[in-house]
């Protein structure tokens, strides 16, 4: 048996009262995505081999901190003597030229095992008082010069922890086993054997007059007195949607809440509400900041990249949701530095309405209410926009977009994807504008060069003058699209804000408050996985899930930068998809010379329309089937149709589309794939509520 042991000393505090425990991991071959009690990632250091690694998230004993970690690798399995593992491209800026990517010669000319470490303690974070250690384990071993590749199939992580009285007190005031937190903890931690060391009941924390522990709310809105009535009406609407909500003003909060400045006072108030309500049947989950930084001040956080240096004031609304510590442990004027021990896991999911006048807020609210209440025909539609990012080396935004939409782990195959890429010659500003104005897609993702005053070649005026009547959700990986701070965009406001403030445009916007990087793709991938695989429908909650899952990379400067700068402008409780993705298979079968289509009826449908055409135009988002392509109109209860066109005739080897409609002929759902009548295919219908 071959064994590698490396001892890592982490946050050495002392040994009095120390306790020890071990966690065993069974490691799968590198082509298997999930290992027992772990999640597989890939090293993304630029120029270094893209070797997989395992993220182990271990729940620590209550009231104890890590003193040391020892990672033991056992039972080596040799895989290959001729494996070529290419170098990682690594995170790179969306803006500006980047040097060519090549293998790191110090690594690739060596036969030393890579990585050189068995593992590392990345961080230890708390969620609702539960303390979780994030440990990156490196069981996959590559020797670049000889191309030898293998892995250790068994890993033991030995942890030594010591009591911490201050930590235990903080935890006792926050710990609650409400379902929302326990569901998140079960997704986050890969080992929870220490759960029984945590109390089942939270200690009582004193509360001030503003918070009534007996009147808990899931949704908290903070604005000022000027716009209180607007948000009270919004809170009433949320209540009608089944979400308990309450509105508080900065004029109420500032005199009552402790803090050295107004952002800290607001965060203290949110923390107090969270703690007071966490043990109830309506624990606080969502916070909406009702105004831009002139109404709800921004917390600027530190970030550094080798490309752009240091920024001490990255607008970071995560500060208002991640409630442990004060984000300024070293006491200097800057928040979010590494030695500030910033909290990386939000207890509550935060969104912001970045407006500063009544029209801004009324338009944002109207569009969100439309998105929630109005069935979007073909809501499973996505526009991917990818621009040219760099010429030397050639770098396409479309390549990054494809990493999202071409992988069914992130973008379900049910989606109708329209690609407008410089790479393919299909992108133009006019084409994008026309697509949006035609209500073409419910979801839009973009990678391209941007600033606070332009997006996809459109300026703020262009965005103000969209003519769409359905309002999609938009996210861009470009620079400064959500630079809502006065110091950057001033009174002109950012392009993302204009898309929200106008009477048309978007129902929500997820964008960067500073320079964009390619790691935006990683955040969007995991966000989509959260929605469609992990059943986290709320956009704010899925963004939090994305952050949690990417903590293994947090010590990479560019991941930390993106972690801070990615802000949600919109309602954090809004579901990206409001109808359930129930599918009914449409089968195509041959009976003699005839093609027979059959399906399971959709209860809501009063009519079924069958379309056919010799080409396949139907799944270009926004396309409305031509009337002369409608072959037959059937009652909603119909479940099959026999085509009059013989199978095998090339002139009628048509593509088919089946559409379900209501009694007014409005579309309720359509098939997501079409096949020629020569072969069997499966087509899905998506009913709308």
Query: 643 CB contacts (<8 Å, ≥6 apart)?
Result: 594, 595, 596, 597, 612, 631, 677
**Is the pLDDT higher at 14 or at 2?**
2
Coil, helix or strand at residue 437: helix
Is 643 within 8 Å of 634 (Cβ atoms)? no
Q: Is residue 205 part of a domain?
A: no
The residue among 569, 597, 625 that closes a domain is 569
Instruction: Give the CATH number, domain containing residue 286.
Output: 3.40.50
Is 337 within 8 Å of 327 (Cβ atoms)? no
Q: Are strands 594-598 and 584-591 parallel, antiparallel or unpaired?
A: antiparallel
The residue among 319, 339, 359 that closes a domain is 339
Q: How is 186-222 classified by DSSP, letter by letter?
A: HHH-SB-GGGGGS-SSPPP----TT--TTS--SEEEE
Mean pLDDT of 98-121: 92
pLDDT value at 684 more than 80:
no
Identify whether residues 227 and 185 lie together within a single domain: no
Q: Is residue 128 part of a domain?
A: yes
User: Phi first, then psi: what are they for 476, rounded to 5°?
Assistant: -125, 140
Identify whether residues 477 and 551 lie together within a single domain: yes
Identify whether residues 138 and 85 lie together within a single domain: yes
**Number of domains forming the structure of the chain:** 4
Please give the pLDDT value at position 38. 47
Q: What is the pLDDT of residues 616-629, one digit of tens each?
A: 543 333 344 555 56
Q: 22 lies in which domain range?
A: 3-190
Please give the pLDDT value at position 654. 67
- When pLDDT is cut at 50, 70 and 90, the band that residue 420 belongs to is very high
Identify whether residues 528 and 604 lie together within a single domain: no
Q: Which of 140-149, 389-398, 412-421, 429-438 has the lowest mean pLDDT?
A: 412-421
Please give the pLDDT value at position 32. 46
Q: What is the pLDDT of residues 455-487, one digit of tens each?
A: 999 999 999 999 999 999 999 999 999 999 998
**Is the pLDDT higher at 395 or at 601?**
395
How buried is 288 (Cβ within 10 angstroms: 0-12 exposed, 13-18 middle, 19+ buried)? buried
pTM: 0.86
Q: Could you give the count of Cα atoms lying within 13 Å of 248 in the half-sphere of its Cβ?
A: 22
Please give the pLDDT value at position 650. 58
Identify whether residues 510 and 609 lie together within a single domain: no
Instruction: Give the CATH number, domain containing residue 131.
Output: 2.60.40.3800
How far is it, in rounded angstroms, from Cα 535 to Cα 530? Answer: 6
Q: Is residue 681 part of a domain?
A: yes
How far is it, in rounded angstroms, from Cα 502 to Cα 563? Answer: 28
The secondary structure of 4-34, three-state, reads EEEEEECCCCCCCCCEEEEEEEECCCCCCCC
Mean pLDDT of 104-115: 96
Identify whether residues 433 and 496 lie together within a single domain: yes
Identify whether residues 436 and 470 lie together within a single domain: yes
How far is it, in rounded angstroms, from Cα 449 to Cα 34? Answer: 35
Task: Return the closest-CA partner of residue 516 out of 491, 531, 495.
Answer: 495
Please give the pLDDT value at position 7. 38
Is 441 within 8 Å of 472 (Cβ atoms)? yes
Quote the tokens at residue 488: 């950057």
- When pLDDT is cut at 50, 70 and 90, the band that residue 204 belongs to is low
Identify whether residues 381 and 501 lie together within a single domain: yes
Identify whether residues 606 and 647 lie together within a single domain: yes
Quote the tokens at residue 379: 């809501």
Q: Is residue 357 part of a domain?
A: no
Identify whether residues 147 and 226 lie together within a single domain: no
Q: Is residue 653 part of a domain?
A: yes
Instruction: Give the CATH number, domain containing residue 648.
Output: 2.60.40.10
Mean pLDDT of 109-115: 96
Identify whether residues 588 and 564 lie together within a single domain: no
How far is it, in rounded angstroms, from Cα 177 to Cα 27? Answer: 31
Coil, helix or strand at residue 44: coil
Extract the runs of DSSP E, i.e. beta strands, from 239-330.
245-249, 286-290, 300-305, 309-315
Is 43 within 8 Å of 189 (Cβ atoms)? no
């Amino acid at each position: 048996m071959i064994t590698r042991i490396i001892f890592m000393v982490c946050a050495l505090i002392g040994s009095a009262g120390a306790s020890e425990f071990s966690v065993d991991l069974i490691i799968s071959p590198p082509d298997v995505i999930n290992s027992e009690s772990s999640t597989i990632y890939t090293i993304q250091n630029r120029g270094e081999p893209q070797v997989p690694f395992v993220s182990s998230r271990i729940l620590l004993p209550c009231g104890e901190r890590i003193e040391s970690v020892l990672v033991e690798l056992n039972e080596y399995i040799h895989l290959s003597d001729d494996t070529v593992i290419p170098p990682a491209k690594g995170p790179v800026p969306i803006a500006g030229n980047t040097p060519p990517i090549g293998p790191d010669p110090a690594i690739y000319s060596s036969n030393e095992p890579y990585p050189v470490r068995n593992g590392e303690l990345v961080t230890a974070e708390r969620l609702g008082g539960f303390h979780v250690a994030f440990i990156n384990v490196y069981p996959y071993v590559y020797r670049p010069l000889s191309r030898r590749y293998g892995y250790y199939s068994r890993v033991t992580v030995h942890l030594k922890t010591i009591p911490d009285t201050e930590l235990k007190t903080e935890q006792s005031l926050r710990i609650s086993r409400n379902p929302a937190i326990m569901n998140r903890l079960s997704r986050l931690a890969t080992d929870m054997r220490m759960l029984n060391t945590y109390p089942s009941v939270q200690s009582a924390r004193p509360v001030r007059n503003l918070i009534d522990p007996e009147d808990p709310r899931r949704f908290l809105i903070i604005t000022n007195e000027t716009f209180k009535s607007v948000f009270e009406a919004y809170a009433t609407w949320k209540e009608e949607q089944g979400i308990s909500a309450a509105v508080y003003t900065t004029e109420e909060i500032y005199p009552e809440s402790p803090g050295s400045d107004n952002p800290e006072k607001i965060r203290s108030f949110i923390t107090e509400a969270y703690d007071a309500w966490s043990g109830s049947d309506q624990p606080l989950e969502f916070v909406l900041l009702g105004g831009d930084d002139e109404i709800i001040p921004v917390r600027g956080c530190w970030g550094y990249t080798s490309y752009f240096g240091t920024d001490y004031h990255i607008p970071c609304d995560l500060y208002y949701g991640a409630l442990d510590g004060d984000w300024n442990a070293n006491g200097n004027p800057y928040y979010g530095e590494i030695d500030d021990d910033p909290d990386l896991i939000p207890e509550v999911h935060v969104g912001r309405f970045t407006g500063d006048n009544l029209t801004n807020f009324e338009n944002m609210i109207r569009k969100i209410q439309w998105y929630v209440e109005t069935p979007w025909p073909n809501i499973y539609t996505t526009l991917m926009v990818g621009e040219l990012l760099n010429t030397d080396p050639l770098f396409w935004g479309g390549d990054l977009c494809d990493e999202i939409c071409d992988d069914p782990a992130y973008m379900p195959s049910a989606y109708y994807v329209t690609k407008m890429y410089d790479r393919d010659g299909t992108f133009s500003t006019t084409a994008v504008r026309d697509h949006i104005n035609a209500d073409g897609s419910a979801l839009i993702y973009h990678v391209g060069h941007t600033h606070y005053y332009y997006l996809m070649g459109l300026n703020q005026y262009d965005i103000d003058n969209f003519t769409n009547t359905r309002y999609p959700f938009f996210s861009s990986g470009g620079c400064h699209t959500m630079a809502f701070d006065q110091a950057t965009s001033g009174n002109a406001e950012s392009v993302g804000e204009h898309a929200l403030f106008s009477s048309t445009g978007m129902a929500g916007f997820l964008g960067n408050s500073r320079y964009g990087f390619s790691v935006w793709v990683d955040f969007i991938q995991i966000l989509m996985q959260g929605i469609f695989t992990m059943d986290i429908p709320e956009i704010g909650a899925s963004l939090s899930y994305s952050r949690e899952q990417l903590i293994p990379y947090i010590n990479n400067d560019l991941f930390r930068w993106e972690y801070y700068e990615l802000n949600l402008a919109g309602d954090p409780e809004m579901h990206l998809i409001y109808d359930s993705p129930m599918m009914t298979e449409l089968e195509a079968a041959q009976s003699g010379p005839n093609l027979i289509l059959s399906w399971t009826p959709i209860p809501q449908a009063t009519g079924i329309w069958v379309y056919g055409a010799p080409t396949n135009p139907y799944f270009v988002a926004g396309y409305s089937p031509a009337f002369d392509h409608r072959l037959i109109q059937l009652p909603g209860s119909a479940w099959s149709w026999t085509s009059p066109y013989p199978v095998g005739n090339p002139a009628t080897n048509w593509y088919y589309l089946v559409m379900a409609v209501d009694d007014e002929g409005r579309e309720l759902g359509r098939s997501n794939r079409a096949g020629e009548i020569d072969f069997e295919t499966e087509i899905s219908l998506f009913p709308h509520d």
